[in-house]
């Protein structure tokens, strides 16, 4: 009995096999052309950076999806597919300001004194507030607050709540390290952040002043805060008394 393929004339058989071969090749080519998960993440990161830069430089109204797509080297339909419209991208940019590029929160380290721990916390606070991208995005949030009032309010509240929560955790750790007496650490965190930053952030964000606090200014504020919040007894040993950290658990 003849093989099924032999029922086709020779020329037809060749064409059929060629068509099947071409079909297989096209399928493989399409699979090879799909971006990997890593490539997709890289493209998204590029879009976010370009969108952030354009919104900061031009504002919401003067930035178009075409501008973002061109700057990121992607098609406009790609933006719609992965982000949505311009407002959705804008919200994503502001949301990334809230949760992205987070600096490591301050902790109590071996050989810390109360002064060195709080000075490092102050450096963390200044880094969060005075980074170039932080300044640019905060200015953008202020400029667009009338366009997106509820959204901007929720983001701002979230930013400062997390900022103060990180300070509160530090004060709790300072108590555990025997550098502070028991107390209302959440309240200490609010007072510390207010005293540390003062009016300088709003002066910077409104472009009325571009001078960041100096190292000497930070140290003076830390000394004054310790004395005012915890009293002279704690202040006397704030630069000499070392943290007593709990022993690390031994491996089984």
| CATH architecture, domain defined by 37-94 | Orthogonal Bundle (1.10)
Residue positions counted in the chain = 252
Mean pLDDT of 57-73: 93
Q: Which residues of 170-192 are buried (b: 16+ CB within 10 A; e: fewer)?
A: bbbbbbebebbeeeebeebbebb
Alpha carbons 106 and 189: distance in angstroms, whole number:
12
Domain 114-236, what fold?
Answer: Tetracycline Repressor; domain 2 (1.10.357)
- Judge whether 43 and 72 are in contact, CB under 8 Å: yes
Whether this prediction's pTM lies above 0.75 is answered by: no
On the question of pLDDT at 98 being above 60, the answer is: no
- pLDDT score recorded for residue 154: 87
Q: Where are the alpha helices (DSSP H) in the chain?
A: 10-33, 37-58, 65-72, 76-82, 86-99, 114-130, 132-143, 149-176, 185-197, 200-205, 215-236
Residue % of the chain over a pLDDT of 90: 47
**Angle, in degrees to the nearest 10, between helices 149-176 and 114-130:** 160
- Judge whether 222 and 118 are in contact, CB under 8 Å: yes
Highest mean pLDDT among 24-33, 79-88, 233-242: 233-242
Write down the domain spans for the chain: 37-94, 114-236
On the question of pLDDT at 160 being above 90, the answer is: no
37-94 shares its CATH topology with 114-236: no
Among the residue ranges 104-113, 183-192, 240-249, the one predicted with the least confidence is 240-249
């Amino acid at each position: 009995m003849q093989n099924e393929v032999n029922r086709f004339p020779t020329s037809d058989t060749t064409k059929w096999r060629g068509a099947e071969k071409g079909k297989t090749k096209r399928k493989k080519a399409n699979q090879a052309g799909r971006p990997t998960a890593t490539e997709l993440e890289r493209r998204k990161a590029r879009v976010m950076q370009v969108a952030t830069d354009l919104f900061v430089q031009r504002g919401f109204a003067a930035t178009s999806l075409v501008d973002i797509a061109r700057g990121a080297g992607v098609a406009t339909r790609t933006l719609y597919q992965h982000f949505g419209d311009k407002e959705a991208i804008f919200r994503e940019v502001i949301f990334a300001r809230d949760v992205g590029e987070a600096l490591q929160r301050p902790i109590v380290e071996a050989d810390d004194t109360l002064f060195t721990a709080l000075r490092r916390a102050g450096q963390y606070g200044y880094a969060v507030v005075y980074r170039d991208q932080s300044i640019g995005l905060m200015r953008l949030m202020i400029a667009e607050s009338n366009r997106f009032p509820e959204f901007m309010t929720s983001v701002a509240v979230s930013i400062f709540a997390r900022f103060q929560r990180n300070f509160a955790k530090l004060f709790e750790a300072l108590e555990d390290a025997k550098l502070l007496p028991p107390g209302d650490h959440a309240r200490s965190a609010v007072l510390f952040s207010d005293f540390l930053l003062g009016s300088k952030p709003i002066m910077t964000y409104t472009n009325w002043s571009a001078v960041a606090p100096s190292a000497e200014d930070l140290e003076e504020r830390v000394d004054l805060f310790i004395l005012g919040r915890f009293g002279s007894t704690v202040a006397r040993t704030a630069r000499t008394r070392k943290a007593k950290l709990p022993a690390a658990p031994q491996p089984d």
